């Protein structure tokens, strides 16, 4: 697990990154100080596993391209988070494709951390975020991005089809998940208009953003380095219980920000 430490006025920032295997990671991250506004923008992006029909762009795999486009959109100075995500979605979505699952798409959670202590955060898809204050941890978009009834139906299908292949899984995903109403927030590029969740928070001492491949829970946030160091061993132990062409490993990207003010 590659770890990087960055010091930005007011914040100690750590990032962890690891691809799922020998190929390059389809995750990405952003730590960027906007020169036109009193804010630090951070983001974690998770390119969605492509189907066989997902396009490549100039030789770049669809998920990596989607994450790169979104990362660039987030670096337009002076533009808000929601506006940035909608711009990326407009660029990525291909209206000629009949199936949403075949789109070039990426999940993203991004936050603007303002100098006055205010935090604005957006979630598109199933990347995750937590904020810590003196009262403890607050969940800012964690766990599945599916509506509860859809999640139950999708879990039931996976339990009943543990030995299916990836193509069959993708077909089922389109049947169960191929409409915006199935989601509380949607990966960018999947639908003509994204479903975006918004949060506002104040005075966080710590902020954690992660792709879902990190498999974080609140109880591991206090020992984040140890959890990530042992993640692959934990995944291998549970590999026998995986379902419906589920991957043993995912790409991992995590950002942790710790305030230096108090």
pLDDT of residue 245: 66
Under the phi-then-psi rule, with left for phi > 0, alpha for psi from -120 to 50, and beta for the rest, what region is 74?
A: alpha
CA distances from 210 to 6, 109, 141 (A): 17, 8, 11
pLDDT of residue 203: 85
| In contact, 127 and 211? CB cutoff 8 Å | yes
pLDDT of residue 240: 66
CA distances from 182 to 49, 150, 170, 256 (A): 19, 6, 16, 30
Retrieve residue 243's tokens: 């379902």
CA distances from 150 to 47, 154, 215, 229 (A): 22, 6, 21, 33
- In 3D space, the residue among 213, 204, 16, 182 whose CA is nearest the CA of residue 121 turns out to be 204
Q: What is the pTM of this model?
A: 0.94
pLDDT of residue 132: 95
CATH no. of 2-143+185-236+247-259: 3.60.40.10
- In 3D space, the residue among 151, 70, 158, 110 whose CA is nearest the CA of residue 255 turns out to be 110
Residues 6+ apart with CB under 8 A from 82: 122, 196, 198
pLDDT in tens, the chain (262 residues): 899 999 998 999 999 999 988 788 999 999 999 988 889 999 999 999 999 999 999 999 999 999 999 999 999 998 999 999 999 999 999 999 999 999 999 999 999 999 888 999 999 999 999 999 989 999 999 999 999 999 999 999 999 998 899 999 999 999 999 999 999 999 999 999 999 999 999 989 999 999 999 999 999 999 999 999 999 988 888 766 677 666 777 899 999 999 986 5
In the numeric block, the tokens 């997902």 are attached to 54
pLDDT of residue 24: 87
Under the phi-then-psi rule, with left for phi > 0, alpha for psi from -120 to 50, and beta for the rest, what region is 78?
A: left
């Amino acid at each position: 697990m590659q770890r990087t430490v960055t010091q930005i006025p007011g914040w100690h920032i750590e990032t962890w990154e690891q691809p799922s295997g020998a190929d390059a990671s389809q995750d990405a991250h952003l730590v960027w100080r906007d020169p036109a506004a009193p804010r630090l923008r951070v983001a974690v992006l998770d390119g969605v596993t492509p189907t066989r029909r997902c396009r490549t762009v100039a030789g770049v795999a669809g998920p990596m391209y989607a994450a790169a486009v979104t990362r660039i959109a987030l670096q337009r100075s002076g533009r808000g988070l929601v506006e940035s995500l909608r711009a990326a979605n407009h660029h990525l979505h291909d209206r000629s494709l009949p199936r949403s699952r075949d789109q070039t798409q990426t999940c993203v959670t991004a936050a603007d951390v303002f100098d006055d202590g205010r935090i604005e955060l957006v979630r598109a898809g199933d990347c995750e975020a937590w904020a810590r204050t003196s009262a403890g941890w607050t969940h800012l978009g964690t766990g599945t991005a599916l509506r509860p009834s859809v999640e139950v139906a999708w879990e039931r299908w996976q339990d009943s089809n543990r030995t299916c292949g990836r193509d069959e899984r993708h077909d089922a995903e389109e049947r169960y998940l191929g409409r915006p109403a199935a989601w509380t927030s949607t990966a960018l590029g999947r639908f003509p208009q994204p479903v975006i969740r918004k949060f506002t928070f104040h005075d966080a001492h710590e902020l954690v953003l992660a792709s879902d491949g990190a498999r974080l829970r609140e109880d591991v946030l206090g020992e984040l380095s140890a959890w990530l160091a042992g993640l692959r061993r934990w995944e291998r132990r549970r590999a026998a219980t995986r379902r419906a062409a589920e991957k043993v490993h995912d790409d991992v990207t995590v950002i942790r920000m710790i305030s230096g003010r108090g």
